[in-house]
Amino acid sequence: MTATPETETITTQTPEELLAELAQLHIRTIVPPSPKQLAAFGWQAIAGCQAAGFARALHVLMETAPDKAAEITDWFQGPFEEGPDPEEHTDWIARTVAQDVNVLDQWITEARELAVKSAEATAEREAGEVERDAVHKHFGLSYANYLVLPRTLLQSMPDEWQTKFVALLKVLEDAFAHVPQADVYDVTAGKEDLLRDMTESELYQAGVEVTGDDDLGHGPDTVYRRIKTGEELDGDSYGFRPGKDPVPHYNRGRARVEPRLGGGE
């Protein structure tokens, strides 16, 4: 149960319950799939080892010194069932293990250096990590066959980003220079809706004719067809209606839209 300072209702855990929790934690750390991120994988392995060691020690205490086992369990549970108090345990380490403030300071310094190295290694790995089928995943469940990027938004990005982006475009162009491609494309801004949610005029804008409507509109006998091809559709198909592009014209490279870099609101 959840305990708070206000309610002061604490459910005391037994050594047997803690032993079961430690066993479950150890099993969790060795059952695949394992984390791909190296730091997470490392800490999971350490947690598994520590849980195993703690379980063995607690089991021995339960058999030889049950009062001590209960004392350790109570300490491990913490004052509000949130685990041991880190500050209190650090003080205990200083008194009983390090026994010298200089030794403890040295441990803290080494721990900080290792943490910084781990963070740097993680950042380097993530920066160079390759994702399989990244482009396909980027499109998600969309049936889109092309990626449309507004020129105004592209030229609004920082110069460093633009330089990298254009360099990648050049690589793409060179890689497929031998493949026949259309000279130009006609990109039209608009909106996409389910056919069954569109009015008759909206359907006409989408190039779809509808027959079989009942008095209340679309019904079970409603049939949708593309005017150009005669292809029969259902109400769960999408229709495209041309509309105004909310992104301003690039204006010969002068138009700018302020980007929110870093995912800010």
Structure tokens at 123: 């950042």
Q: What is the Cα–Cα distance from 232 to 238, expressed in whole angstroms?
A: 12
**pLDDT at position 69, please?**
94
Backbone angles phi and psi of 242, in degrees to 5: -60, 145
- The one-digit pLDDT tens for each residue of the chain (265 residues) are 344 445 555 578 899 999 999 999 999 998 888 887 777 888 889 999 999 999 999 999 999 999 999 999 999 988 777 888 888 898 999 999 999 989 999 999 999 998 888 888 777 777 777 778 889 988 887 888 999 999 999 999 999 999 999 999 999 999 999 999 999 999 999 999 999 888 888 999 999 998 887 666 677 788 899 999 999 998 888 899 999 999 999 999 999 999 988 655 5
Rounded Cα gap, residues 153 and 249, in angstroms: 10
**pTM metric for this prediction:** 0.49
DSSP string, 163-191: HHHHHHHHHHHHHTTTS---S------EE
Looking at residue 200, what is its pLDDT?
85
> H/E element holding 194?
strand 190-194
| Proportion of the chain in helix, strand, coil states, percent, rounded to 5 | 50, 10, 40
Beta bridge partners of 238: 194
pLDDT for 3: 47
pLDDT at 2: 45
pLDDT score for 253: 93
Q: What percent of the chain has pLDDT over 70?
A: 93
What's the confidence (pLDDT) of residue 120? 82
